[in-house]
Amino acid sequence: MVHNAIRFSIGIIFLIAFLAPAPAQEFYKKPETTAEFWRYMNHEIELGQYKVAAGYLKGFIAKNPSDEELLQMQEKEGSSAFLRLLTIPELKAEAKPLVERVDALVRKHLSDRKRLDALIQLLNESQQERAYAIAQLKRSGADAMPALIDALERSSNDLDMHAAILGVLPLLDKSTVPPLLAALDTNDAALRSELIDVIRKRAEKDATPYLWYLSASPKQPDALRKKASATLAAFLGLRANSLPSAKTALTQEAEKYYQHRVAFLPPDKPVIWQWDGKQLVSQTVTPSQAEEHYGLRFAREALELDPTYRPAQVIFLSIALDKGVERAGLDQPLAKGALPLRELLTSVNPGLVIAVLDKALQEHRLPVILATVRGLGELANVQATRSSGRALPVLVRALHYPDRRVQMGAVDAQLRIPVQPEPLASARVVDILRRLVMADPVSKVLVADFNLDRANMIASGVKTAGFEPVVVRTGKQALAALAQSGDFDAVLVNADIPDPMLPGLVGQLRADVNSGLLPLLIMTMPDRVGPLERQLERYPNTYVVPISDDSRDLKNVLSARISEAMGKPLTEAERKDYAARSIEWLARLARGEVPGYDIQPAAGAILKALHVKELAGLAVEAAGRLRGREPQSALATLVLDANQPEGLRSAASIELCRHIEQFGLLLTSAQAKALGELYAGLPDSKLKANVSLVIGTLRPDARQTGERLQQFNPGLASPAKPEPAPAPPKGEKGNPSGLSG
């Protein structure tokens, strides 16, 4: 039936070819058929009468043309006849559903398997029928390939049919290349060999990556390897014996996908073709998924040729981590968002993980850095803390990478590895913990402008845009604010900032280990934007924008630039979690659980945390080990504060006692007196018992000691009940004394 329909279509096409186009018609009668409505509409479009044309389009749609009519129109006039309607404002709204319907019909028609099988049968018929079949198969493009490859496999014993099908493959358009290459994965070695011949006839140099494995794999027949090598040599202009190593070439190909250097068609919705073991199948994916698919494919083939080849191992794991973290989210641990990837990361040689981290740090690949740093924390491998040649250890470099997620992960990893830290690492760990404890759980934007009125106007717009602004007036103040805490997500700097001026300030900001990758927006007058952009173009994440205090503009530009720089801004939950983990580490370091770290530089952050409900408990522990008068005074203040929870005050009493015993009495006389009064006024409780320990450490003099001894009163014990009197002898009931009257 399909066969007859195709023959009928051939006749119709030739009939149309002999018919001259209708001359310009006089549109004097009301259109009645779909063909008339369509013709009238096109006529009015040619005249520029778009409103009238819109009326005819509505009439055409109201007639509800059949699928067959629409397909005939599309085949005769092409898809452009429908697509152009979308370019005319008066017709666009009505045309959109029609265009979508035609597009779906055409795709379904061109990929219809019965139609394709019937066309393939015509390839071995008359010259006229073969020409028609080839033309129709060309229309189907890539959609024709599954049927053609299947027919090739089935026709291995029909030489004429097999040759007819092979003969059409070189004639098809570029869209058929991806499925043609995917078919090289067939289990039929003879078919693979024939497809290589087709590729060479077509001079499809895009096939080069797919030929490397076939040219070198011992699993392939010798003749096939030689044919693949000869084709590669022809495409590359080399002799077959001068070809580079296949594993090297495959690794380089995988690297292209990792570095986003491969363009896909269509760019936004690439189609992946694969051999599923029996047939060709296709899947529409995102560009990122396509990069992952092809990158891992070529890296895997390189590893199949040589499983020990380190460059292939590095690129394979890099791609897997990059895409795995992308799916899971930068704010999610692999154990939650990509468990199989976490298991892979912790099961490979730690040296490979270190090599991947080294590469990612050099290339600023944030997802890979995050994944490997977190993985090294779980592996607790000492090698990550050791230098390789002149380079700093990878974990030390990660500690200095200007991203808070990376820094937190690197701190976790460094502190879990049982090794004495390098001085550079220990100081940096404590500084990161200090900054994260000091950070507020809000997204802050630093506004640096010497003109305070203008700065406040911009800050108001920043606040309305959803960020917390912090205003400074000089470059020096900006650097100090950024060094103080880790809660800034962007920096706005007026181009005329003083001390230091803009060129020096930008250089320092971009070299800073904490803020080096934060989006830096230079605000200036519109006429200076271009020159400043050229001056600052070498700096990453640095943008020049016109001065604006409009909250919508600020929200759009800040949100976009923060996302570009950080992948995803830190959430409030992440900020709170980082602060909690940081104070926990500081408390553990203070207790000496991890030797080699001096927490004294974080004293200010620890004492600030005494007043943060979620952090105060651990901050008390850390404060008790800090040197100096200020920690002792802060603990005493906490003990004396009746507004604080009793449990926290009780814990602070213990740490205050410890501090006095270790560092001596550093309290003022007023504080010591207040502690004594507190003790005297407290009811019996755990708090009073702990405060009494503090009182004991205050070393009272002889008079104070005597007074406190006098104040001690254990209270009188309740008198014992008297022993009951012995019962009187019989007959002396009324004379208990035993005396006579």
Q: For 662-693, what is each residue's pLDDT tens digit?
A: 998 999 889 999 998 998 888 888 998 998 89
pLDDT band at 457 (very low <50, low <70, confident <90, very high): very high
The yes-or-no verdict on residue 727 having pLDDT over 80 is no
pLDDT computed for residue 721 by the predictor: 58
With beta carbons less than 8 A apart as the criterion, state whether 298 and 254 touch.
Answer: yes
The yes-or-no verdict on residue 7 having pLDDT over 80 is no
The yes-or-no verdict on residue 426 having pLDDT over 80 is yes
pLDDT computed for residue 182 by the predictor: 97
pLDDT digits 0-9 by tens, 131-166: 999 999 999 999 999 999 999 999 989 999 999 999
pLDDT digits 0-9 by tens, 354-367: 999 999 999 999 99
The DSSP string of 566-610 is: HSSPPPHHHHHHHHHHHHHHHHHHHTTSS-S---GGGHHHHHHHT
pLDDT band at 339 (very low <50, low <70, confident <90, very high): confident
The yes-or-no verdict on residue 575 having pLDDT over 80 is yes
Percent of the chain with pLDDT over 90: 68
Percent of the chain with pLDDT over 70: 91
pLDDT computed for residue 388 by the predictor: 73
17 versus 655: the higher-pLDDT residue is: 655
Give me the mean pLDDT over the 270-294 stretch: 95
With CA atoms as reference, report the closest residue to 673 among 700, 706, 712, 634. Answer: 700
pLDDT band at 566 (very low <50, low <70, confident <90, very high): confident
457 versus 26: the higher-pLDDT residue is: 457
The yes-or-no verdict on residue 67 having pLDDT over 50 is yes
pLDDT band at 461 (very low <50, low <70, confident <90, very high): very high
Q: Which residues in 613-652 are b (16+ Cβ under 10 Å) and which e?
A: eebbbbbbbbbbbbeeeebbbbbbbbbbeeebeeebbbbb
The DSSP string of 669-700 is: HHHHHHHHHHHHHPPSSHHHHHHHHHHHHT--
**Mean pLDDT taken over the chain:** 89
Give me the mean pLDDT over the 336-348 stretch: 85
pLDDT band at 25 (very low <50, low <70, confident <90, very high): very low
Other Cβ atoms less than 10 A from the Cβ of 87: the count is 9
The yes-or-no verdict on residue 19 having pLDDT over 50 is no
pLDDT computed for residue 725 by the predictor: 59
pLDDT digits 0-9 by tens, 157-202: 999 999 999 999 999 999 999 999 999 999 999 999 999 999 999 9
